[in-house]
Structure 1
Amino acid sequence: MASDNIALLTKLVHDFDGRQDGLESNLSYYDGSAQPTQIGLATPPNMRSLLVSIGLSRTYLNAIEERLDVEGFRISGKARADKRLWEWWQANNLDEQSSFGHTESLMHGRAYILGSAPDPEDPLDDPEVPKLTVEGPQRVWADINRRNGRVKNAVRVLRDDVTYAADNPDPDYVTLYTPTTTTGYIKSGRLGWTIDFHVEHNLGVVPVVPLLNRSLLSDLHGASQITKDIRSTTDAMARTLMNLQTTAELMAVPQRLLFGVKPEDLTDDPTNSYKVFQAYIARILAFEDSDGKAQQFSAAELRNFTETLDQLTKKAASETGLPPQYLSFTSDNPASADAIRASETRLVKLAERKQRIFGSAWEQAMRIALLLMDGKLDREAHRMETLWRDPATPTFAAKADAVVKLATASTPDGRPVIPVERARIDLNYTVEEREEMEKWDKQSATSQLAELVRPKFQEPGQPDPNQKPEADAA
């Protein structure tokens, strides 16, 4: 059995290493450090260091991720979000971790959610809360069954230098996840690995959930949101800006031709090149020699570069669906609120699609968490729903006005179109805030007023006149 696990571990580590290609390129386009190929037809070699990095990919991915906020999980048959699942979410800091996972998935095409039972030997672990962590593809790889789309086995790889390197292919620590066990291995021993820990969870499923982006029926491991057309547009913008800088360096100052003028006529020290240059860029040049003549060429026109950048920016907007104001090109007249919302239609729809895809992964992660803590799943848990914040960006006043109209309008039988609870959900109040509002709703206006005035008019030591004696109350 040990040798079988070692063979499986070796295979998964090999697959993991084979899937590291392209991750560094994705990151370079995201953080703006990508350096496109230099054509060099019009740029001197010594000025190609002016090549500019473009943050188009980061702007695009961040615009999507900023609209992906989980607000809870609802079990089938229940009207409200499940408190227990939300407590697990908060205890594992998934408000922050989910943001990192969504960004990694958009950038690389995949991220992973790992689940485990609380460690009884760790004093910081709550014994009633499972552990849920998010990892990127630089550390985790999952082997997915093409027949049913579920994870067969998974591996988590750690190296001292954190990232994969061709000269250091062997990891220092590996965790192997199977449907029945979770085992940690240290690089040592006769078989190459020594067991660090071994847990028999017997869940029947691997406690690893892929958070996939742009997965296809023919490719179950996802793809980067930074597509080839976005990369090519980014490279073209970088080269255009480089040529713009080069032209500005070489020809932004009008060039002059001086005839019949000796170097000593330009400055008192013709051997000092800096003084000669100062004389060259001076506005007025006067010479005593009557034969001296000067001619001036006009400065280079940079409009062709700026117009090219404008066209490339519009091309990027059509490829990404980003609104014009996100890419800093707008008309002279400011857009109205309705026009801004209309320009965000594609971006909002894309965010809704990502919510649907990522929500399925988070629901599966929560089912695994229920299995870890309860050992079984209720039938309703299979129809779990992830609750997301509205990805659209209407103003609060406009949204409140629409919600109030729906809550106060009546149907033909006299009922409101939406109940008050639905209105509060639409206004993005949290579960705790809605519960506090319900407590206030149960108190009458008179009782609320009495609570406010009692501390002012009630003398110390006197009984509350509004409170009935215990005998009468009984």
Structure 2
Amino acid sequence: MNELKGIAYLKRKLATVRPRVLMRYKQYAMKHYDPPVGLTIPPQIRDRYRAVLGWNAKGVDSLADRLVFREFGNDDFNVNEIFKQNNPDVFFDSAVLSALIGSCCFVYVSSADDSVRLQVIEASNATGIIDPITGLLTEGYAVLQRDNDTDSPVLEAYFTPDETWYYPKGGEPYSIANPVGVPLLVPVIHRPDAVRPFGRSRITRSGMYYQLYAKRTLERADITAEFYSYPQKYILGMDPDAEQMDTWKATVSSLLRIDKDDEGGHPVVGQFTTASMSPFTEQLKTAAAGFAGEMGLTLDDLGFASDNPASVEAIKASHENLRLAGRKAQRSFGSGLLNVAYVSACLRDGFHYLRKQFVNTTVKWEPLFEADANTLTLIGDGAIKLNQALPGYVTGETIRDLTGVAGNPSAVPAESEAASDE
């Protein structure tokens, strides 16, 4: 067994990653402040027209809303009951959304009243040392509660395979024995790899740049619109001794009267050419196209409506990159949720099961795209042909995995007419 690094090391580790996670949460909440950048517009003017854009939130939600957990298949250890007792409609959505924003989240597993409790902790409040083989932690640290005013920790926890230590603010530390043999803090990670074992956020640096680029464009367009609405005017040849004209009257009046002087001369009134808004629209579409390509979305998703409404099949085709990202996220999250199920079952039964005993348990998700009538027809025709070639090959469970439609689970494919005649 590897030597534990200790809670002090994990505190320092969390302090290094916490600012980046909080910044992405601010990006998602549309509260991140971008310092003004520009050569021509003074900062005090730009601050009056500060733009707010929710593209990063849209990029996260477009994937999170499609990742709908269904159940654990081949549930030999009855872990579905554990999750049913922990408000699954909120738990799974919270875990998925938190992991997409912060690259990972952690599930704190505890027991109370002869039941297992599951609590999602965002990546800004927990960290640990991960085992690259199993995806479980060898030790972990989490801030279970923070002060709302000072943001300082009120209750901290240090997780080891043998016990869990709790550190209340102003109180004495205490420990509780851990019968599982695995820390009761389980990571759920989005897109992990050998370089980034704790995964990657859905809010990428490229996505943040395109959103910032679009915000700057909107700010410039908003400021330019003031001059576009009230074009600047000028008067040439005005007598210096003439009565001064009210600027507001000159701006909003539909008719101005300027008399001739004693010699019959009169000033020339003109108007400066107004700036066109078209370049800003093109810039905004350029930023939207770059962001859509980064997130696997389309311009329709970002508010640039197309002329013709798309069918379900066209939507699927245009969201191919989003579908691939969803498949990858399902595999990543499935591994983490299976680890949560494993640790929860061990804690419930008070017995350290072997991890390999859960290899047959699978994670089932609803389809990324809901099936319409045309899709159901195509799948039905395909199922009939496959079952004619290999009787019983496509079952009701297979149809549900493809369509998301929960029919009669005991239904069997109808025999072909040729087989009936025989």
- After TM superposition, the score normalised by the length of structure 1 is 0.76
**Kept after mapping to 1: 8 A contact 2:300/2:306:** no
TM-superposed CA distance for 1:287, in Å, is 2.9
Correspondence for 1:72: 71
Q: Which residues in structure 2 correspond to 1:73-92 (within 5 Å)? A: 73-75=72-74, 84-92=78-86
CA RMSD of aligned residues (A): 2.9
Amino acid at match of 2:399: A
Q: How does 1:5-404 map to 2 (within 5 A)?
A: 8-49=6-47, 50-75=49-74, 84-117=78-111, 119-120=112-113, 127=114, 129-145=115-131, 149-158=135-144, 160-162=146-148, 171-188=153-170, 194-196=172-174, 198-259=175-236, 260=238, 264=243, 266=245, 270=246, 276-289=247-260, 291-374=266-349, 375-377=351-353, 380-395=357-372, 397-404=373-380
TM-superposed CA distance for 1:429, in Å, is: 4.3
For 1:456, the equivalent position in structure 2 comes to: none
Q: How many residues are aligned here?
A: 400
The answer as to whether partners of 1:12 and 1:141 remain within 8 angstroms in 2 is: yes
- Counterpart CA distance in 1 for 2:190 and 2:242 is 66
Greater displacement, 374-383 / 342-351 = 374-383
Gaps of 5+ in 1: 76-80, 121-126, 271-275, 439-474
Change (3 A) 1:426 1:331: closer
**In 1, distance between residues paired with 2:69 and 2:370?**
16
Aligned-partner Cα distance in 1 for 2:242–2:123:
64
Task: After TM superposition, give the deviation of residue 65 of structure 1 in Å.
Answer: 0.4
Letter in 2 for 1:377: Y
Q: Is the 8 A contact 2:235 2:270 kept in 1?
A: yes
Post-superposition shift, 1:151? 0.9
CA distance in 2 between partners of 1:205 and 1:164 (Å): 33
Q: Give 1:162 deviation, angstroms.
A: 4.6
Q: Is the 8 A contact 1:406 1:416 kept in 2?
A: no
Kept in 1, the 8 Å contact 2:366–2:404? The answer is yes
Match of 1:419 in 2: 395
Structure with the greater alpha carbon radius of gyration: 1
> Structure 1 counterpart of 2:363, which letter?
T
Find the counterpart in structure 1 of residue 416 from structure 2.
none
C-alpha separation in 2, matches of 1:149 and 1:265: 78
- Identify if the C-alpha distance between structure 1 residues 13 and 163 changes in structure 2 by more than 3 Å, giving closer, same or farther: farther
Q: Matched residue of 1:21: which SS?
A: helix
Which residue identity is paired with 1:110?
A: C
SS of 1:111's partner is strand
Query: Closer, same or farther in 2 for the Cα pair 1:417/1:216, shift >3 Å?
Result: closer
Aligned partner of residue 214 in structure 2, secondary structure: helix
Letter in 1 for 2:377: D
CA contact (8 A) 1:67 1:351 kept: yes
CA contact (8 A) 1:172 1:186 kept: yes
TM-score (norm 2): 0.85
State the distance in 1 between where 2:336 and 2:242 align: 75
- List alignment gaps of at least 5 residues for structure 2: 412-422
- Contact 2:129 2:137 (C-alpha < 8 Å) held by counterparts: yes
The change in CA–CA distance for 1:424 and 1:338 in structure 2 (over 3 A counts) is closer
